[in-house]
Structure 1
Amino acid sequence: MMHIDEDSAAAALAESMRVLRSRSNGRVPVSRLPDEILLMVFKDIEEEKRLDGYDSDDDETDDRVGDAPACLVVTHVCRHWRKIALECPTLWTLIRSTPPLWLDVVLERSQKAPLVVSYTAFSISVLEDCMDKVLLHLPRIKHLELRVSEYEVAHVMDLLSSQPAPMLEKFKFFLYNSLPTTVSTPNTIFQGQAPLLRHLDVFISDRIWSSCIFGGLRTLRVVRPSLPDLLSALRCMPTLEQLSLVYGLSRSVQPIPFNKVPLARLKSITVDGISLQNAVSLLAHLALPVDIKIALQLSPITGPHTFADLFSVMGEHPDGSGPVFRSLRVIKPNPSGLAVQFSTSTTINSHYSWDPQDDDIRLSIECYNEDLEAHPNGPFDEIPRDTAINICQIIAQRRPQAFFSGEFESIQMQGCSDFIGGLTAALRIEGSSNVTYPSLRVLELQDILFDGHELQDLRDVFIMRAQHNVPVHDLRFRLCKDLTADQMQLFQEVVVNGIDCDEYTLEHSQA
């Protein structure tokens, strides 16, 4: 009897302590927050985790460990918080390689709310235990990102074709740890019903992305399609705004239609790893808006086509119009590369990217030499230099007129001492009327080591331009080395506003 009384007393004491703790916690300011405020905090927690892991462009992301629900932690704080969290289905909609332990919990607690799913099927067990179960809820998935091995592609495609996807807005499909490959896919993906789909990102060389159900796309990112397949798909995407091609174009023996594909709403096109010849072929078959943003990463610079051909197909607009460029940047981003960017602004943002976010930079061309990367001490450094000279001369000769409308007011050259000779040749005035870059006012030379006659030749050109009433107004040196005091003085005499040197250049100048 005494033992039973002791147990009862202990239980009563524990309950009393619980009540006291509950009352004490109730007096804490955070416990007096309205439910609406707590719910906003919980949603921020869930959203932070969603942004931290989902919608990443890193194809190497490995989600093998899996994630427990983001708001699981708040359900363990107190009964009140747990009640609020469990009564809000939208807190349980993120499924990011969620392990089987929590998958059923998330699917139940999310009720009928739209799901955001990111799953990696790195094994048959994950495919059977998790992904099969998740894709049963395909009709309420809003964002879907799948990474599968080539051995599971067929099975996953069957699952994707088993139901419609009326709520799907974004679909990403990658092959896990594998190169793009062609697989047999059904034509009934999503049973032909994905009316809200606007973003498609596929790492697979199959014409899954050419289905008519993708006609409402705004964004398309596809890996190494053939040009005929791509053009066929684009004809069914009149509302497309962003087009990205990864690894350029694959070879194809299929005939290419002669008529161009109209893409009146396209805002940007980004292509990496494409040859100059394929870039010319691609742009020649697209009817692009005048204000399009183009970013091309070319490798290697070989083949029958030239940059004049590339600029010609870019400049073919029915009304003869084109972008009005105000500034030009030539930069050497690495030992094997050369980049040229054209901006509609009088200045170019200092942060270089071959695919810039700056809307003023309307055309970016980066060329890199694979041979130089493989053999850094080999005889391949002349190819980027010739490329720079070639581009500068084409611009100077204003070919074609439609593309290079407007006048360059500023030019920036960064990290490329060898290219100053090409610029000097382009700026030189030949005859009494052949004035190149007549609106040029600012020239900035950055991160350059002067070790030859480049500056003397450039000064002679400045004198010549001043004599023809088209002088350079500002010459800027940034992060340069081995300028002499005599050279600085000589330029002071031929530049309208004199020269401007940063502290680094002054410190590394010769006495």
Structure 2
Amino acid sequence: MCSCVSASLGINELKPSAFDNLDKAFDSEIVPKFFIKGHPKTSISSLPTEILEIIFMHSMPIDGTSYSTPPSKALAQWLSVTHVCRYWRKVALNYKDLWTQLDLRLPNFALQMLERSNPKPVELEFTAQYGSKSGLRRGARVLKKILGDHASRIRCLSINPGYRIGGYEFLDDALEAFIGPATNLYKLELIAIAWDEVPDGFLRYGAPRLAELLLQDFHIPPDSPLLSNLKDLTWYGNGEPHVMLSGEEFFDILRKSPDLEALSVQGILPSSFPSDIITLSCLQGLCLDSHSQSEAVVALDLCNHIIFPEKTKLNLFVPYQSYPLTLANATFSFFSRYFSPASSTTNPRLVNTLRIEATDDSHDFLIEAWYDRVSSTTLLVESVDRHSPIYIHFEYDDDSWPPFPQLMTTVVQTVPFAALETFDIRDLSHQHSILETLLGAVCWSATLKHIYVGGLCAYRLLDILQTGIPTKSNGLSGQAELPFPALETLLVTSVDDRPLLLRSMLRVFRFRLENRGPIRKLLLRCCGLVSRADIELLEEVVGEIDWDGDRS
């Protein structure tokens, strides 16, 4: 047994974060100083598994490829290190939780790990992306043995033939041997490079605890019991008609998993759905990725057939080369349905924060909306990681330019602004027509407290802050109220013309100070050469200023 140095840091005080900053200099001679306090035999019993793993992984020699080394190979290398003392070597060999991640790139060692971890559930991975053909054959034989003889011990199974030609020929027998019952199987990943089907006998005796299923170009019959009682379903197809599900089949899958929490689909949706409405009361995330406009229309329509909780995170990715009437109607229908009281299992959706992006140098158009309340008036949106219930991403090519005003008309007509507090349009860049449409919808909002704007749009916003937006109904003649009456925080970014920006701000903020009161906080980001003298002038008319310039 080795003699170890005591340390002031006791074993019960250790947390995984204590090892986050360890680098390549961390070796087996330093390890004992971190975790030994008192007799090692009494200390090891209270050492958490994740810390043991960190200790043993960092105890092995580290080379330039260590960060991509699979766990099984890392442990094999560690065991070959002769200077590691016998006591800790014995601890590692006897610690079953350390040997549960089986990587079949080292098939013989995977069998040893399977034996050492007995009877713990194991995670099993087979990939054909690396290694020789003979090595893949050996791995497939070991995979077949484990799947056939130890099905009840498998907790996670990942099959990924990768892009190697001939990767499939090794798998048919192995998958056919996995008949179950897989009583501990929690997560299953089947990834292919061309559409393939699981063998007829695959898990014929079921996997009652299966909660996470990922299929990529791999087909499981819609009536398979594996599609029942799922929590997380990810299913990616190649969009070919002969592999796409029918509307009834897709709805049947959703009905089988009423407790579904995450759903992500691409390339498998049918061309249309039945008129049924499906309620997914536990859904937390819905991701619909489209390869074509027709698929985008179907994805938008799917949202009209699902009732899910108020704060479900929704991701829509919509590519297009133009903006046809069908997509326009689908977008309008989606917004109308999404914000209707009948679309949520809890409360009607009220947007608290809306972010819209459409830049000149990026072929993207983005709409985000969420409901979480802003915690303080000085909060910077770029430093906050919020749960975003709506994320709509339109992507277009170099030869087209999407008609943003039509999209904005849809947003203005259907998104409820009654509870809007934060409006982020800093990435609208030079889209003045969009700016007029959007700000016209929220100009007199009594709840809007925070506005983020950038580029040339900042100057137009400053004008609107003082005068409002003229319309046929108000004319703004003799207007008694200022626009944005509740505004507290203004962020301005990406403005190069410092003198013009400064003059505009001084004029507007002085006017609002005299007629309503100061804006509480002004934030300047990447606004040219804003100087200390500029800030001193602005401080006379603004409550607080935060900027990223030279403060000397």
TM-score by length of 1: 0.75
The CA distance in 1 between the partners of 2:225 and 2:312, in whole Å, is 25
Note closer, same or farther for the CA distance 1:146–1:242 as it changes in structure 2 (3 Å cut): same
Q: Percent identity?
A: 19
Q: CA deviation at 1:51?
A: 11
How many Å apart are 1:338 and its aligned residue? Answer: 1.6
Alignment of 1:375-390 (within 5 A): 378=399, 380=400, 382-383=401-402, 386-387=403-404, 389-390=405-406
Which residue of 2 is the match for residue 421 of structure 1? 433
Aligned counterparts, 1:25-424, within 5 A: 25-26=2-3, 28-29=5-6, 30=32, 33-38=39-44, 43-44=49-50, 47-48=53-54, 67-69=73-75, 72=79, 77-122=84-129, 123=133, 124-136=136-148, 137-148=150-161, 149-152=167-170, 154-160=172-178, 162-175=179-192, 178=193, 181-186=194-199, 188-208=201-221, 211-224=224-237, 226=245, 228=247, 229-245=249-265, 248-250=266-268, 252=270, 256-273=273-290, 275=293, 276-300=296-320, 302-303=323-324, 304-306=326-328, 307-318=331-342, 321-332=347-358, 335-347=362-374, 350-351=381-382, 358-359=386-387, 361-369=388-396, 371-372=397-398, 378=399, 380=400, 382-383=401-402, 386-387=403-404, 389-397=405-413, 399=414, 404=416, 406-424=418-436
Inter-CA distance 106–49: structure 2 relative to 1 (3 Å threshold):
farther
**Displacement of 1:156:** 4.0
C-alpha distance in 2 between matches for 1:257 and 1:101: 51
Contact 2:462 2:505 in 1 (8 A): no
2: CA distance, partners of 1:501 / 1:87: 58
Gap change, CA 1:420 and 1:508, over 3 Å in 2: farther
Counterpart of 1:487 in structure 2 is 504
Q: Report the secondary structure of 2:196's partner residue.
A: coil
Distance 1:329 1:72 in 2: 53
Size of the aligned set, in residue pairs, is 448
Equivalent residue runs for 1:424-443 within 5 Å: 424-428=436-440, 437-443=445-451
Sort the Cα spacing of 1:294 and 1:319 in 2 relative to 1 into closer, same or farther, 3 A: closer
| 2:529 alignment partner in structure 1 | 507
SS at match of 2:481: coil
1:134 offset after TM fit, Å?
3.1
Cα distance in 1, alignment partners of residues 202 and 408 from structure 2: 49
Shift in Å, 1:469: 2.8
CA deviations on 1:16-46 (whole Å, 9 max, x unpaired) are xxxxxx6xx4475458533253356583366
Structure 2 vs 1, CA of residues 73 and 143 (structure 1 numbering), >3 Å: closer, same or farther?
farther
Q: Is the 8 A contact 2:341 2:349 kept in 1?
A: no
- CA distance in 2 between partners of 1:444 and 1:466 (Å): 28
* Cα distance between partner residues in 2 of 1:408 and 1:157: 53
The range that moved more, 455-464 or 333-342, is 455-464
Distance 1:67 1:86, change over 3 A: closer
Q: CA RMSD in A?
A: 3.9
Does the Cα contact within 8 Å between 2:103 and 2:124 map onto a contact in 1? yes
Shift of 1:93: 1.4
Output the CA distance in 1 between the equivalents of 2:73 and 2:146. Answer: 15
Report how far residue 492 of structure 1 moved: 1.8
Cα gap change, 1:476/1:27 in structure 2, threshold over 3 Å: closer, same or farther?
A: closer
> CA separation in 2, counterparts of 1:62 and 1:79?
27
* SS at 1:414 equivalent: strand
- Contact 1:115 / 1:142 at 8 angstroms: preserved in 2? yes
- Aligned equivalents of 1:313, 1:33: Cα separation in 2: 65
The CA distance in 2 between the partners of 1:201 and 1:133, in whole Å, is 23
Contact 1:325 1:344 in 2 (8 A): yes
Cα 1:317–1:500 shift into 2, 3 Å:
closer
Distance 2:223 2:478 in 1: 57
**Residues 157 and 357 of structure 1, relative CA distance in 2, 3 Å threshold:** farther
- Structure 2 counterpart of 1:390, one-letter code: Q
- Cα contact 2:197–2:220 (8 A) shared by 1: no
The unaligned stretches of length 5 or more in structure 2 are 7-31, 59-66, 162-166, 238-243, 471-475, 535-552
Instruction: Write out per-residue CA displacement over residues 341-386 of structure 1, whole angstroms, 9 at most, x where no aligned residue.
Output: 112135487449xxx9622x221111111x22xxxxx4x2x31xx3
Structure 1 residue 151: Cα displacement: 4.2
Q: CA deviation at 1:209?
A: 6.6
- The residue type paired with residue 221 of structure 1 is T
Equivalents in 2 of 1:268, 1:189: separation in Å?
Answer: 29
| In structure 2, distance between residues paired with 1:364 and 1:85 | 46
Q: Equivalents in 2 of 1:227, 1:328: separation in Å? A: 35
Determine helix, strand or coil for the equivalent of 2:43: helix
Cα displacement (A) at 1:215: 1.7
Distance 1:362 1:193 in 2: 34
Native 8 Å contact 1:74 1:82 kept in 2: no
The more displaced of 25-34 and 215-224 is: 25-34
Closer, same or farther: CA 249–405 of 1 in aligned 2, 3 Å: farther
Give the equivalent residue in structure 2 for 1:14: none
- Whole-Å separation in 1 of the counterparts to 2:100 and 2:462: 63
The alignment partner of 1:216 has SS state of coil
Residues in 1 aligned to 2:477 and 2:285: alpha-carbon distance in whole angstroms: 37
Shift of 1:141: 0.8
**C-alpha distance in 1, partners of 2:186/2:380?**
33
Per-residue deviation, 1:440: 2.7
Question: For 1:425, what is the secondary structure of its paired residue?
Answer: helix
TM-score after normalising by structure 2: 0.70
